[in-house]
Homo-oligomer: A and B are copies of this chain.
Amino acid sequence: MTDYRFSKTASRLKRSEIRELLKLTRKPDIISFAGGLPDPELFPIKEVAESSQRAVNERGSLALQYSPTEGDPFLREQLAAYMTRSGEAVSADDIIVVSSSQQAIDLIGKVLVDEGDPIVVETPCYVGTVQAYRAYGADFHGIPVDSEGMRVDALEREVKSLCDAGRKPKFVYVIPDFQNPSGVTLSLERRKRVLEIASEYDLLIVEDSPYRELRFKGDFLPSLYSLDNENRVLQMKTFSKILCPGFRIGWMLGPEEVIDKIIIAKQGTDLCTAAFSSIVVAYFIEAGHLESVAAKARERYAKKARVMLDALEVHMPKVDGLNWSEPDGGMFLWVNLPEYMDAVEMFPAAVEHKVAYVIGSAFTHDGSCRNTLRLNYSYPTIDQIEEGIKRLAALIKSRVK
């Protein structure tokens, strides 16, 4: 058989450009700032081992069985307690469990996006979001970000122009804290403004919040979900960045009507999230470990970010147009190269210099931002960060006109 006659969706699926580039970087002597992985030294092996034992020994017949589609009740309780302790009070009934926040992103597309529907995202935008909504045939409208996050003036203009044309966006997707890939945070003033614009044009907001807990500088800002009182914010959270990615567990909150549709869509997608890992994580939270592991991550990432920023300051050439974001948390920073440089074209040379990054254009729906790149500081060691930035700076210096 040779012609499987794939769907229209399949024709829109593209192999992630990042993954293809990353294959080039799997050599032991290459220092990679390309991944998006947490520091594995932070993984709380002992505590996870304990929680696993409790899950199997104390709740084995639940942990090994199907769970309700909306999530294991014990985990939902623990999540509500955790969020309430973190200052954003919710109840277990407000929460559904999902199999990673990537699943939440996908299910939102499934229940909201038809082919050609306009959606609004940040430029640059998390690559998994672009990939998921491209599959549904979304028509992307990118809003530039600056040091205070999504530019609300541009947001308002774009939304108005779409609405005037009778093409109201299905939603505005935003990562307000330490955005992936830019590393910037949406200021409090802009959060309020985003909600005002949403209110004025009656828009749904999708708030992806994987990094919020990883703030190592400044005050925690209230989430869009907590600031909303018009039932227009869907919030997604995950354990992948604060605890570890290996469980594939996230959670969602939002307007009941949307959540109901998502539960039905989830039934056909994977029936339910794994009870086993749900209960392991629930015991982990109950024991108070989530707060302590997040505290350790904040401390570690503050240090690594500092080392990377210092190295950039020391080694990068002082030229117009070359600058980088200074994150208050999260795992990434963003480098703007002078307009005449092309991070895509430069990539093979970087690999030759034994250093890797992600090309910024991988994070745009239209391949723009070719003079940008994303650097990850959570995964490499301190020594690697210093040496890797030295290598990257040498390469960039060699290309200054």
Contacts and interface: CB of A to CB of B under 8 A. Distances in A.
A132 B269 CA distance: 7
Contact of A5 (B43, B170, B268, B273): B170
A112 interface: yes
A317 interface: no
A56 B47 CA distance: 10
B40 A270 contact: no
A90 interface: no
Interface in A14-38: 14-16, 19, 37-38
Interface in A82-135: 99-100, 102-103, 105-106, 110-114, 117, 128, 131-132, 134-135
A154 interface: no
Contacts of A245: 64-66, 275
A9 interface: yes
A106 B268 contact: yes
Given A57-B49, A255-B1, A65 B244 contact: yes
Nearest to A205: B1
A13 interface: yes
Contact of A53 (B53, B131, B258): B53
Given A230-B1, A257-B4, A246 B112 contact: no
A7 to B, nearest CB: 5
Contacts of A15: 264
A276 B110 CA distance: 27
A292 to B, nearest CB: 16
A396 interface: no
Copies in the complex: 2
A269 B64 CA distance: 24
A74 interface: no
Contact of A112 (B10, B62, B100, B204): B10
B48 A56 contact: yes
A269 B135 CA distance: 10
A300 interface: no
Given A1-B232, A48-B60, A264-B13, A246 B269 contact: no
Nearest to A8: B114
Nearest to A60: B45
Interface string A188-203: 0000000000000010
A248 interface: yes
Nearest to A203: B1
A179 to B, nearest CB: 18
Contact of A111 (B10, B240, B255, B268): B10
A382 interface: no
A43 B64 contact: yes
Contacts of A110: 7, 9-10, 135
Contact of A271 (B38, B64, B100): B100
Contact of A45 (B56, B66, B265, B275): B56
A3 B277 contact: no
A128 B56 contact: no
B261 A274 contact: no
Nearest to A278: B246
12 contacts: A1-B231, A6-B111, A8-B114, A37-B66, A45-B56, A66-B246, A99-B248, A102-B271, A103-B269, A128-B271, A246-B274, A248-B274
Enumerate the 5 nearest inter-chain pairs by beta-carbon distance, A residue then B residue, closest first. A64-B244, A64-B246, A248-B274, A132-B268, A10-B111
